[in-house]
Chains A and B, each alone.
Chain A
């Protein structure tokens, strides 16, 4: 069986988070994005540089998913949330906290975990 090719800058970004060197891309006007980006869709700046991802972000919205796709069957129920890290927001699975206790404003750090169902890498948030 042929092994699937990595997803370029996305997998490199996960590698960086795993190594404790998480980053995001920022244009000259302070718009933040996740890779790959060649242009800022907000201001069309092509001058995007890597900035260090802050150690923690705040949950801006969240849901506890009880009806998953097959790729997350054994993960459910799980919490998916969007967290605000300043110039950039990230979507991840929240672990290390009872789903009932996740709130808008919960402070989280970002790491790379594994999906229970498939063993694939996943962006994981943990309360800080």
Chain B
């Protein structure tokens, strides 16, 4: 079985572009990815595209063909929706098709337009990733759901808002050199602690911003990359996906994310590696507490120990296990349907040395992407390795 190569990737500037249509955002990222890959567009077999709230934000369903057209492709195009893990699910499907020999070249990507409808409507749209009858109607918001998880975590394992603040400070610092990042501003622990509360115990700086943006990558079979002399040194060597009850109330505990445990276990086994082999990770920190749950599910930390990783400097760019060198969702931004592919692009660039924070892991060979949907009822994990 040969592993797909990342032949090229493109990411828009993440941020507030309320006037930019989804199709324009994706066209920019997709064309950049195609150009960078050196792949002839005639050779593309399919587009797998992630998007979450297009109906609500743009009154636009059926976005697959629209986005293929936007990047000049006349190929079967399918939209994937798994809330914030939509693009991760698209990557996974592409990896499987290429491995199975069903395709040689697949463009994966995603886009989300969010700021055009304003903060209140975007908050409303994000909330529908939760159980409408039993959660949303009881006032649950997206930050509220993670606040419930954070409080459970503190109760079960300890930790404090200050520990969460260190995660925000770290990710903001990482984003300072990332030209794609929405927020390039250094903050202090004090700033984070003094920010307004949005859903106790979480404050404004525990939360990712609302973001417009797109990301795309061109995945090819190993044989295709070799035949066409592509510069594609990074391979996707492991894929995993896990699921959980949609509603928090139906889970055994709120301070663990078993869907991510399952996704990580499957992806590691698939790649033939373990957590100790991983040099760098991009994880789904839609809220600071989510980064804690992610690094525990990925096996970098025991349960209850991930909370102090940033405080202790271990997950900073100078630490032993750098997490979210891009700035994470927290500072880079979170255009929901694009996030999974933006993570993949970051890890590919870190491993091939072209990312501005690649110096954090100079001899890094293995990176992991963790993309979570809703309150982690969907999670994909992908392992990327330097193949040559």
Contacts and interface: CB of A to CB of B under 8 A. Distances in A.
B245 interface: yes
Contacts of A10: 133-134
Interface string B228-263: 000000000000000001011110001000000000
A91 interface: yes
Contact of B200 (A64, A69, A123): A64
Contact of B139 (A7, A41, A60, A80): A80
A63 B155 CA distance: 13
Nearest to A80: B139
A1 to B, nearest CB: 21
Contacts of B181: none
A66 B138 contact: no
Contacts of B201: 63
The A interface, classified by DSSP as helix, strand, loop or mixed, is strand
B141 A61 contact: no
The B interface, classified by DSSP as helix, strand, loop or mixed, is helix
A48 interface: no
Contacts of B4: none
Interface string A85-128: 00001111100000000001000000000000000111100000
Nearest to B128: A69
A23 interface: no
B123 A69 contact: yes
B140 interface: yes
A7 B250 CA distance: 20
Contacts of A69: 120, 123-124, 127, 136, 141
A67 B143 contact: yes
A82 interface: yes
Contacts of B139: 65, 68, 72, 75, 78, 80, 93, 122
Interface string B98-134: 0000000000000000000000110110010000011
Interface stretch (B146-154, B265-273, B300-308): B146-154
B249 A62 contact: no
Given A71-B124, A91-B135, A92-B138, A66 B151 contact: no
Interface string B180-204: 0000000000000000111111100
B130 to A, nearest CB: 9
Given A61-B148, A65-B144, A69-B123, A123 B137 contact: yes
**In which size bucket is the chain B interface?**
35 or more
B143 A91 contact: no
Given A91-B134, A91-B140, A91-B248, A63 B152 contact: no
Contact of A64 (B149, B196, B199, B249): B199
A66 B133 contact: no
Contacts of B254: 60-61, 82
A80 B148 contact: yes
A34 interface: yes
B15 to A, nearest CB: 20
A34 B134 contact: yes
Contacts of B197: 64, 66
A89 B254 CA distance: 12
B253 to A, nearest CB: 9
5 contacts: A61-B155, A65-B147, A91-B248, A91-B249, A122-B137
